[in-house]
Structure 1
Amino acid sequence: MAAIQKRGKKYRVRVIRRGFPTQSKTFITHAEALRWSRDIEIQMDRGEFKSHEAERSRMVDKSIPFQQAAHHYQKTHSIHKKIVRCETSRLNILIKRWGDLEVGKVDKQSVITLRDDLLKMGRSGETINHYFNTISKLFQMLKDEWDIDIANPIKGIKRMPPSQGRTKRVNVELECLLLSGCDQLSLPLLRSIIQFAIYTGMRRGELMRLTWADIDLPNRKAYLHQTKNGEPRQVPLTRQAIAVLEALSKDEERVFPMGMDALRSQFGHLKEYAKGRWNGIGVNPFYDLRFHDLRHEALSRLSDAGLNVIELSHISGHRTLGMLKRYTHPSHEAIFLKLERE
């Protein structure tokens, strides 16, 4: 309902409609006031109305600090993801960088500078793309859930090309040094974890979540309910893997009752120990050794044993041949032996 009042030589119009904020404006003529009020009412009827107050509110929302938006995203989105630890780590780094900066001022150039700084630090293309994904999803939240009219700073920025992947092999010599190091440092559980990782090709998180209820010894298989790609799978257990399991205590629910922080700490300590005892030729292989390299080695050994890509993907859980290729590095000797059999 519109009400028009004459005030001196001008006309003040007010549009009052339930469910909408009252709209008012002043015009020189009655006809202009009437035309404006009818336009507003038509917009309200069609659901097309946007108040000036709402627009101003949206502009004010752009001034909230980045850290406020990031903390909210952590609590409402990251917490429900399997990658919560990794995404939280990235968000904390971004908060240190843009904490008090208004979200409206985190623009494309801000992201490009971040990319360049990460490259200087030696971060891989995949790591940088993970930062891009986190930033993009955070700004999508601001637009979809907070109703802030804000541009996504990732738009228009090309993703980084994937890296070539690691080709490191944990050969028998390195394996022996790691296992003997566990013995010398009195780390029996870490020794079992390393052996089981090499015998099965499981990821670190899959190993540490494994419970005795997931182990089927008669049928020699392990059930993985939570995996990186979200699809459960079964991993066949070799006789070597079975021997590792049989030597373990069954008093705990988990097969390897160790926290992730303890695993990182012990593996780092073991690397330092083995590094000091390496007397081979060339670069010390323990400088850049990662726990994940054990998975690479496991799949490469299975490939050397003659398993085809379908069988390897069944064990590893990889969905694409491209990813499996990056993880599997057959030895020259294994390839040569197969050729000799032809």
Structure 2
Amino acid sequence: MARKDGINRGIREIPLGSGIWWVDFWHEGKRIRKKVGPKAQARAVYERLKTESRLGTLVPKPVRKHEPLFGELAEQYIRYADLHHKRKGDDTPRLKWWLDAFGDKLALTLKPYMVEEVMEKMNKEGYKPATIARCLVVLKAVYNRAVKNEIIERNPIARVFAPKFDNSLVRYLTTDQEERLFEALPERLHPIVTVALHTGCRQGELLKLVWEDVDFNAGTIFLRDTKSGDSRRVLMNSKVQEVLLALPGRDTPGAPVFTDTLGGPMEGRNLRRDFDRAIKKAGLAPFRFHDLRHTFASRLAMMGANDRTLQTLLGHKSQRMILRYAHLGPTHLWNAVEGLASSAKKRIGTDTKGISSEGRKPKSVENTGAGNGIRTRDPRLGKAMLYR
């Protein structure tokens, strides 16, 4: 039985009654549709294409892929980042500059010079090189994820380089500054700030603490989800235990250690907001919550803690991250250079009478010995001294 529409095989009028005819047939498992116009012309095109198909000379034009806007890629990345990154919402403000500049542009039309112009504008408006670098990292992450998911074929801004900046700056509180900070802080933030100062825990680690993670018998806090991805234990000194024992909710399973005014888990954005207000009130800007961790490490370094101790207490996998604290505890460096002087004295018999070696020692060296002159100093600090 013949097909009812056999006379119109391979051509269709779309929409019906419009007088516009399309070629519509299958070739090697792929559907080929082509807008032609008049019916007679559409039939002639169909016959030609079918002949080419039978002879194997038909080469279909590649289907043009959708060219995404940068704003579409950014939106997809934010959904991914908020789902997988530890601190939800961190990347959103870092994308604002890029969205304002390129949100409605085709993603593959961006050029390195266009990105560099935005970075230059940020610099003129007072943004620090470190902030600009972090924004660029997020921009590249948007493109890299799109390439990985085969949404685009290449990253057009891969050759844009971040500005160089010194990341070794360490901000830490003196005793006087710590007192000013606590005077400006709301009372409800005193516990979490105190624990941060005495453990070196990061903000995110403290906010995720539940009471099951606090072991008063062992004197430890168990951190389940750290920045490195590994769990670890930190020690509680007597001050931390005193502060935590005064907090409510210890008998409630799964209860957070640090809570908001309603008793729910304390949120990071609210903590940062209130902490920043207190910092400004105390005149300590641009001190950040993370600098409490630097304060913890700096104080240990100034008390003479060695590199291995700092690395263990901070939870760093590599010693590279603790080099920023080296200048605060230069005991081992002083011993090294002083060893040259001692060697020279023995070789040439230099008379050092009247010159006080104590006056030349850095403060951290002076404070490393037993103190009060009742014992010999640590032999690693120089030649032994007699009892006084």
Cα separation, 2, equivalents of 1:138 and 1:262: 27
Cα separation, 2, equivalents of 1:245 and 1:148: 52
Contact 2:199 2:234 in 1 (8 A): yes
Structure number with the bigger relative contact order (C-alpha 8 A, sep ≥ 6) is: 1
Measured against aligned partners, the alpha-carbon deviations of 1:117-138 in whole angstroms (never above 9, x if no partner) come to 3333444444333333322232
Q: CA deviation at 1:297?
A: 0.7
Cα separation, 1, equivalents of 2:55 and 2:233: 69
Change (3 A) 1:164 1:272: closer
Contact 1:299 1:316 in 2 (8 A): yes
Residue 263 of structure 1 is matched in structure 2 by 271
Q: CA deviation at 1:328?
A: 6.3
Q: CA deviation at 1:146?
A: 4.5
Q: Map 1:289-304 onto structure 2 (within 5 A).
A: 289-304=287-302
Q: Which segment is superposed worse, 154-163 or 202-211?
A: 154-163
SS at match of 1:72: helix
1:166 aligns with 2:169: yes
Q: CA deviation at 1:141?
A: 3.2
Change (3 A) 1:122 1:338: farther
Cα separation, 2, equivalents of 1:136 and 1:192: 39
Q: CA deviation at 1:23?
A: 9.7
Q: Which segment is superposed worse, 218-227 or 162-171?
A: 162-171
Normalised to the residue count of structure 1, the TM-score between the two structures is 0.74
- Count of equivalent residues: 296
Q: CA deviation at 1:34?
A: 9.2
SS at match of 2:313: helix
Matched to 1:53, the amino acid is P
Gaps of 5+ in 1: 1-13, 27-32, 41-50, 276-285
Contact 2:303 2:368 in 1 (8 A): no
Structure number with larger C-alpha Rg:
2
Residue 190 of structure 1 is matched in structure 2 by 189
Q: 1:127 aligns with which of 125, 128, 131?
A: 131
Contact 1:78 1:88 in 2 (8 A): no
Contact 1:300 1:328 in 2 (8 A): no
Query: When you count helix as a share of all residues, which structure comes out higher?
Result: 1
Matched to 2:194, the amino acid is Q
SS at match of 1:314: helix
Cα separation, 1, equivalents of 2:174 and 2:279: 15
Normalised to the residue count of structure 2, the TM-score between the two structures is 0.66
Gaps of 5+ in 2: 1-24, 35-44, 46-51, 260-265, 330-361, 370-376, 382-388
Q: CA deviation at 1:198?
A: 0.8
Residue 282 of structure 1 is matched in structure 2 by none
Cα separation, 2, equivalents of 1:134 and 1:36: 52
% identical aligned pairs: 25
Q: 1:338 aligns with which of 349, 368, 375?
A: 368
Q: 2:183 aligns with which of 176, 180, 191?
A: 180
Measured against aligned partners, the alpha-carbon deviations of 1:20-45 in whole angstroms (never above 9, x if no partner) come to 34499x9xxxxxx69993696xxxxx
Q: CA deviation at 1:192?
A: 1.5
Matched to 1:262, the amino acid is N
Cα separation, 2, equivalents of 1:180 and 1:192: 13
CA RMSD of aligned residues (A): 3.3
Q: 2:285 aligns with which of 267, 284, 287?
A: 287
Q: CA deviation at 1:271?
A: 2.3
Residue 104 of structure 1 is matched in structure 2 by 108
Q: 2:69 aligns with which of 53, 65, 70?
A: 65
Cα separation, 2, equivalents of 1:38 and 1:297: 75
SS at match of 1:52: coil
Q: Map 1:68-83 onto structure 2 (within 5 A).
A: 68-83=72-87
Residue 323 of structure 1 is matched in structure 2 by 321
Residue 334 of structure 2 is matched in structure 1 by none
Contact 1:299 1:328 in 2 (8 A): no
SS at match of 1:222: strand
Q: CA deviation at 1:77?
A: 4.5
Cα separation, 2, equivalents of 1:110 and 1:70: 17
Residue 86 of structure 1 is matched in structure 2 by 90
